[in-house]
Amino acid sequence: MKYNEFFQITIDHQYFSDAQMDLVLIPEEQTLQFLRKRHFVVKHTSKGLKVLIPLDEKENRLPVIKEDDTLSFNVFPTTSGFDEITDTSMIDNDSILFFTNKGLKNDSKELVVSGTTANMRKNGFPVIAKIKIELSRVDFDLDKEPTLYQVIFKPKTVKWKYYILSGIATTKLEIKDRDAQLTFGKLENLNDIPDKIATALSLNFPNKQLFVFESSKAIHYSDTARKNIQLFQNENMIIKHLSNPDISDNGIQIIKIN
């Protein structure tokens, strides 16, 4: 029997620059039964999977696709940490992400995302997303490239705050991004701002001067450090690469200088 690629699903987590999140894409049992009955073939790839459709001798697709034929898949992590880096702010706390090709624009590859509920586990890890593909919406043409669907997980974002403790005589500190992608503003009148960290640092280090800088926009979490964020004093660079805040610190970085 001859086969041709029907469609492909790829998973992309934008927290990662090169490597991929350890995720597995598993067809639901009802979908497996449907695939076997219709003689479809599923091939897993490094980023997701491909579904192959059988063809007859004239290269016409053999299975008749009905309007309500759907395939459903579950996405499971194989390591911990997914919740820490993934933006799920668009869904309720008791929901998981739900991706579908229903409502997808013709020129778009990114599956539409919303929320749904599920309670399944694989190897101790809970399901983190469901994918539903309506087969009648898959554009199948042997003269065209197979349909590619993208499941995109977006990373969390947070504004970065640098708390810099320095000597009393320190003047004119600035944070600059040599790549000109980020800007940081100095927060003035700290006593008028309800900031527990600033209050605690001022109490614990009474002989130090406190400067607080905040990024002008939220910065997405990434596995690649942002370099070239520099600290200047009186136009002189005193730190070439400021450390990035750790994920667990919610965008906060405390630095002591002389």
Predicted pLDDT at 147: 92
Pinpoint the alpha helices (H) of the chain: 29-38, 82-85, 196-204
Closest by CA position to 159, among listed 219, 237, 85, 238: 219
User: Residue 161 and residue 158: Cα distance in Å, rounded?
Assistant: 9
Predicted pLDDT at 79: 87
CB-CB contact of 160 with 251 (8 Å)? yes
CB-CB contact of 151 with 131 (8 Å)? yes
Phi-psi group of 233: left, alpha or beta (phi > 0 → left; psi -120 to 50 → alpha; rest → beta): beta
Question: What are phi and psi for residue 207, nearest 5 degrees?
Answer: -95, 15
Q: Does domain 158-256 have CATH number 1.10.1740?
A: no
Predicted pLDDT at 55: 82
Q: Which helix (H) or strand (E) holds 25?
A: strand 23-27
Structure tokens at 213: 């800088």
Q: What is the value of pTM for the model shown? A: 0.85
Predicted pLDDT at 62: 63
- pLDDT tens, position by position, 17-69: 876 768 889 999 999 999 999 899 999 998 899 999 888 776 666 667 888 99
Phi-psi group of 228: left, alpha or beta (phi > 0 → left; psi -120 to 50 → alpha; rest → beta): left
Predicted pLDDT at 61: 63
- pLDDT tens, position by position, 110-121: 999 999 888 788
Predicted pLDDT at 28: 95
CB-CB contact of 49 with 42 (8 Å)? yes
Predicted pLDDT at 60: 66
User: Residue 215 and residue 251: Cα distance in Å, rounded?
Assistant: 10
CB-CB contact of 157 with 221 (8 Å)? yes
Q: What are the domain boundaries of the chain?
A: 2-155, 158-256
Predicted pLDDT at 228: 93
Count other C-beta atoms under 10 Å from residue 138's C-beta: 18
- Burial level of 23, CB count in 10 A (0-12/13-18/19+)? buried
What are the residue ranges in the chain where pLDDT is below 50? none
User: Residue 127 and residue 75: Cα distance in Å, rounded?
Assistant: 6
Predicted pLDDT at 74: 95
CB-CB contact of 52 with 7 (8 Å)? no
The position carrying tokens 């073939």 is 41
